[in-house]
Amino acid sequence: MLSSRQSVDDSDLDQEWSTRDQGVQVWLCDTSTAAVRGLVDQYVVLLSEEELARAARFRYERDRFQRIASCALVRTVLGSLVGASPNALKFSKASLGRPILVFPASPSISFNVSHSGNWIALAVSCDAEVGVDVEWCVGAAPIEVAERYFTKEEVRAIREARADLRSATFLQFWVLKESYLKALGAGLHKPLNSFSFQFREPDGLAFHADGDQAMLPSFWLIRAAEALIGAVCLLGRQADSKTSLVIKQVVPLGGEVELCSEVVRRSLHMSSARFDTRI
């Protein structure tokens, strides 16, 4: 279980980041909690007019709030890391739509966001491209989706999984694939079956992609809360035994809260990597 302080200020985040700049930090936010929903008015004043307009386009209030909370999470975390006011940050988009921070200029910082149900995940790295994807594990495994988009070996692994683990196995492959595409910034431009994953016991993870790979991407497969499955991909610098993964649950503008999480699998070349669960 991850224990945490009940409050955090900018200096705390800056200090933590400076001592962990060779890895990835992941912030999780549960937007269904009263603590998050009670701060909506404070979140709104942090957002740009464009962000507010995008949020207003959603039909349902739940989705509008999710968008506002997501923007607030990004702005408060990145603002703390770069030493700027959250509402002063300015963003743009890369060629394939990936958001980038342009003010203050911070070319070394890569960040990525994912949503599922009430949950938001924000992953940040300061020395490599990062991708994150999370999914809430409910319902049966859509094997027809796997057969259409996954490799034959991955489909076989899902079919051979224990019945009560089949849905989780499908989602583990799904979030791994999504995290890789998001780290690449490729979206759906790269077929899901052009690269593959293989689970190696007890907790290893092998990756293969068509064509030459100058540097292997590094992956963490995580589980958090009751049924949240996630994956983080680090691309552009191969992780090693000194690479850390820090996972936190936060309330934007409200501090950190207690979180149960675990690293389920990681890339084989990180077999001795450390996973920092200290807050």
pLDDT of 271 = 64
Residue type (1 letter), 30? D
Instruction: For each of the domains in the chain, give its residue range(s) and CATH number, in order of start.
Output: 10-270 (3.90.470.20)
Does the structure show a pLDDT above 60 at 24?
yes
Return the beta strands (E) in 151-217 as ranges.
Answer: 195-200, 204-209
pLDDT of 50 = 96
pLDDT in tens, 87-127: 999 999 887 778 899 999 988 899 999 999 999 999 999 98
Residue, of 155 and 269, whose pLDDT is higher: 155
With left for phi above 0 and alpha for psi between -120 and 50, is residue 156 left, alpha or beta?
A: alpha
Determine contact, residues 68/55, Cβ cutoff 8 Å: yes
> Tokens at residue 169, please?
């196995």
Number of Cβ within a 10 Å radius of residue 238: 16
Say how far apart CA 219 and CA 183 lie, in whole Å: 11
Does the structure show a pLDDT above 60 at 151?
yes
Determine contact, residues 269/215, Cβ cutoff 8 Å: no
**CA-wise closest residue to 231 among 243, 215, 216, 247:** 247
pLDDT in tens, 36-81: 999 999 999 999 999 999 999 999 999 999 999 999 999 999 999 9
pLDDT of 9 = 39
CA distances from 104 to 56, 101, 113, 174 (A): 27, 7, 19, 34
pLDDT of 226 = 83
> Tokens at residue 149, please?
């988009």
Query: Residue range 14-38: average pLDDT?
Result: 78
H-run or E-run covering 63 = helix 61-82
CB-based contacts of 165, cutoff 8 Å, min separation 6: none
pLDDT of 212 = 57
**CA-wise closest residue to 142 among 158, 126, 160, 161:** 158
pLDDT of 220 = 96
Query: Residue range 11-15: average pLDDT?
Result: 42
pLDDT in tens, 183-242: 998 776 789 999 999 999 899 999 999 775 666 899 999 999 889 999 999 998 777 767
> Tokens at residue 212, please?
């030459």
Write the DSSP symbol of residue 50: H
Number of Cβ within a 10 Å radius of residue 151: 18
Query: Residue range 150-171: average pLDDT?
Result: 96
Residue, of 148 and 240, whose pLDDT is higher: 148
Query: Is the preceding peptide bond at 142 cis, omega within 30 degrees of 0?
Result: no
Confidence at 17, pLDDT banded by 50, 70, 90 = very low
Query: Residue range 18-34: average pLDDT?
Result: 81
Say if pTM beats, i.e. exceeds, 0.85: yes
pLDDT of 182 = 94
